Amino acid sequence: MRLHPPFKVDWTPPETDDEIDFRFVPGPKLAKALIDAAGEQGERGRHLKAFFGCLYYAANRPGEAASLREDDFTIPEEGWGEVLLSTSMPRVGSGWTDTGESFDTRGLKKRARKATRPVPIPPVLVRLVREHIKEFGAAEDGRLFRASQGGHLLSKEYGEVWKAARLAVLTESEAASPLADVPYSLRHAGVSLWLASGVSPAEVARRAGHSIAVLFRFYAKAIHRNQQHSNERIERALEAAAEE
């Protein structure tokens, strides 16, 4: 029997635009206002304020923040602290976990199972975490953030608090737009802040748990702006040297 070679299809998959639309990423002032507003949404809001703070000030993924435990934090009385990320707890179907539960404790995204990622955290997040521990303590397994009934934190639950915070802070037209439309926007905002502050892309990628390639793909505009500022500083230094 003669086998015919498979047909060759002359087709190139369309390019996807992965780059983040920074028109809808909250800046530092708005990010803080949204986190503060979330904290004003009753007891659940107060419980989740530090959770949202981790998404912004440490650029955590929601699944990473949901799995954080008290002993993952170094929280000094003053100055900067640190959070040591080692696991992520995304919600998945119970049929996909070893335990039969709808949450799966995994290693960090695209990292070896036992890999860790230390992230420096600014004093504002140190204070949020300390206040959270003082008011709410931790679950039996050490988790800081949990559902209202004490189980694993649901995206639906923190999503509802976030929705209320947006309505409290944004104008009607802003609330109808994609501006800060999901809590993950805080992670984008945190990474963007680091880049705008002049942190090197390599260090930003390390703190955010990205590869350099992914960082450049998603944050190309922010990186380009940062490079422009760097070029301007270099040019000023060269001009000053030439005048001496």
Residue 36 lies in a domain: yes
**Segment 72-83 mean pLDDT:** 97
Arithmetic mean of pLDDT over the chain: 85
Range of the domain at 211: 22-239
Q: Give the max Cα distance, the chain.
A: 85
Residue 14 lies in a domain: no
Structural domains counted in the chain: 1
Q: By the 8 A CB rule, do 93 and 102 touch? A: yes
Residue 69 lies in a domain: yes
Q: By the 8 A CB rule, do 35 and 56 touch? A: yes
Residue 122: the pLDDT is 97
Residue 50 lies in a domain: yes
Distance of CA 115 to the CA centre of its chain: 18
Q: Using one digit for the tens of pLDDT, what is the confidence trace for 164-219?
A: 999 999 999 999 999 999 999 999 999 999 999 989 999 999 999 999 999 999 99
CB-based contacts of 12-21 (< 8 A; 24+ apart in sequence): 18/217, 18/218, 19/217, 19/218, 19/219, 19/220, 19/221, 20/188, 20/192, 20/218, 20/219, 20/221, 21/178
Assign residue 176 the CATH number of its domain. Answer: 1.10.443.10
Residue 4 lies in a domain: no
Percentage of the chain beyond pLDDT 90 is 67
Q: Using one digit for the tens of pLDDT, what is the confidence trace for 209-220?
A: 999 999 999 999
Residue 9 lies in a domain: no
Residue 244 lies in a domain: no
> 14 or 63, which is more confident?
63
Separation of alpha carbons 56 and 38, rounded Å: 13
Residue 100 lies in a domain: yes
Residue 95: the pLDDT is 40
Q: 12-21, 47-56, 92-101 — which one is most confidently predicted on average?
A: 47-56
pLDDT over 60 at 9, yes or no:
no
Question: Strands (DSSP E) along the chain, which ranges?
Answer: 73-74, 81-85, 117-121
Q: How confident is the model at residue 114 (pLDDT cuts 50, 70, 90)?
A: low
Q: How confident is the model at residue 229 (pLDDT cuts 50, 70, 90)?
A: confident
Separation of alpha carbons 136 and 12, rounded Å: 53
Q: What is the pTM of this model?
A: 0.80
Separation of alpha carbons 63 and 34, rounded Å: 20
